[in-house]
Amino acid sequence: MINWQRYTAMFKRLELPPTDLTGQHILISGGNDGIGLEAAIHLARTNAQITIASRNAQKSKQAVEKIIKLTGNAQIDYEVLDLSCYASVKAFTSRFKSKNTKLDCLINNSGVVNHQFKLSEDGIEQTLQVNYLSPILLTLSLLPLLKKSENPRIVMTSSDLHLDTTLELPKDLESNEKDYVGMYAYAKSKLMSAIVARTLAVKLLSQGISTYSVHPGFVKTDIGKHDLPDTLFYQSFGYFYRFLQNLYGRKGEQGGISTAYMAVGKDLENGGYYDSCEKALENPQTSDEKLGEELWKETLRLIGVNESD
């Protein structure tokens, strides 16, 4: 059966409901560019305090200035965070917790598509670490601040590409260069994000913390453009993909609404997967509790965290 919602959603014009988030603090990883920046602009208009966390300090400073200029909200700041390095995640969370008493919404927005195999500083395939493992380490480290919010939310960025893959454990958590294909690795990292959103929704329910996953939509961004192998196939693929982005991709502020909605939407399904501000069809593996628990245990092992911590 064809999932028509998946293909019609990209043509839907989105709007955020009027919302006042005065007194709330939202953290967005990767908020200095692309989807994250547009989401930050939307959320700044709700009068929330916004922190963007990215590895490039100069771009982040420029993004903060842009957000303040566009929205008039001066409660915008940035922190340096490199998700390809566990030490950077730990240093960031230490600084963040020393400066803040609570966090209302964590949006794990940062992402990468590597067409060529790369290992992180921690010896882990970089797509897996940046898109999935480090966001979980970040999330767990910030739970003490989230627990102090009246309505805390965690948002995991997934993708509709999670519908096109299957998770195989422990194989897909092994950093193996053999048979590596960048888009496959990306899709699997996004499936893991959707699965873990379901798992966290259950584990954190008693603490009043809600967790969701979101497909930002087909958006014109620079992700995946920078390391295409110099072969006819990959260069042709890159050209065709950019053509589709220019033709159909959401641009400007439309590109950040799906993500921003997860911070303001009402009556959302805890653990649910959303696309274009609507509950969307998920990969059946997201409902496999046994798989979710196995993924969770392996995730904790890879990020060096004990469940009892």
pLDDT tens profile 48-62: 999 999 999 999 999
Q: 59: which residues sit within 8 A by CB, 6+ positions away?
A: 32, 33
**Domain-located, residue 187:** yes
Q: How many domains does the chain have?
A: 1
* Domain membership flag for residue 9: no
Enter the tokens of residue 256: 């950040």
The residue ranking higher by pLDDT, 262 or 161, is 262
Q: What does pTM read for this prediction? A: 0.88
Mean pLDDT of 234-241: 52
pLDDT band at 243 (very low <50, low <70, confident <90, very high): very low
Instruction: Tell me: pLDDT of 226 over 80.
Output: no
- CATH for 211: 3.40.50.720
Instruction: Tell me what pLDDT residue 282 has.
Output: 95
307 inside domain: no
Task: With H, G, I as helix, E, B as strand and everything else as coil, classify residue 262.
Answer: helix
d(CA 224, CA 118): 13
Domain contains 148: yes
Helix/strand number for the chain, H first, E second = 11, 8
Q: Does some domain include residue 8?
A: no
Give the residue numbers spanning the domain of 146: 21-302
The one catalytic residue in 78, 86, 132, 186 is: 186
14 falls within a domain: no
Note whether residue 238 is domain-resident: yes
Residue 68 inside a domain? The answer is: yes
Q: 157 versus 236: which is more confidently predicted?
A: 157
Question: Is 186 one of the catalytic residues?
Answer: yes
pLDDT tens readout for residues 74-131? 999 999 999 999 999 999 999 999 999 999 999 999 999 898 899 999 999 999 999 9
